[in-house]
Amino acid sequence: MAKKVVTTDDLDPKQEAAETITYGIDGQYREIDLSEPNAKKLRDALAPFNKASRLVDPKVGGRRFANSGNGQMGFAYGDYDSQAVRTWAQEQGLEVNDKGRVPDDIVRQYFAAEQQQASVNGAAAR
């Protein structure tokens, strides 16, 4: 049986979210699920600041984690290939949606497995 997961707008739960937007300020990165109208409002509000600012490479300095606001650290957007994580999770028998956010616990498991495999490969090469 197929299961459909619907993500709602974090500002207006009566609306379905069209996308997840990741943004950062003061070293903290956040994600928010927004409908098209609310995503446009956010982009319009940030437009003058974006126009005056400089782009930076989010991966400088290695993998970065973002505070999710609840005291736990989450993965910042762009630090991993979500499709590779989804494929790995499905191969492990873990339940993961085809779209939307990949749960942090699955991303952590993926990186732990990736790191363990790199250790095994490094030991075998010696």
DSSP code string of 54-68: ----TTTTS--EEE-
Residue 119 lies in a domain: no
Residue 10 lies in a domain: yes
Q: What is the pLDDT of residue 48?
A: 94
Q: What is the pLDDT of residue 63?
A: 45
Instruction: List helix spans (H) across 4-103.
Output: 36-52, 82-91
Beta strands in 1-126 (DSSP E): 19-25, 28-34, 65-67, 73-75
Residue 31 lies in a domain: yes
Position with higher pLDDT, 122 vs 64: 122
Domain of residue 28 covers 1-56
- Count how many domains the chain has: 1
Residue 83 lies in a domain: no
Collapse the DSSP code of 112 into the 3-class scheme (helix H, G, I; strand E, B; otherwise coil) and give the result: helix
- Please state the pTM of the whole predicted model: 0.46
Residue 72 lies in a domain: no
* Length, in residues, of the chain: 126
Residue 5 lies in a domain: yes
Question: 27: phi > 0 → left, psi -120 to 50 → alpha, else beta; which?
Answer: left
For the stretch 73-83, pLDDT in tens is 455 545 678 88
Residue 40 lies in a domain: yes
Q: What is the pLDDT of residue 107?
A: 84
What CATH number is attached to the domain comprising 11?
3.30.60.230
29, pLDDT greater than 60: yes
For the stretch 39-58, pLDDT in tens is 999 999 999 998 998 877 65
C-alpha–C-alpha distance, residues 63 and 46, integer Å: 26
Q: What is the pLDDT of residue 120?
A: 65
Residue 30 lies in a domain: yes
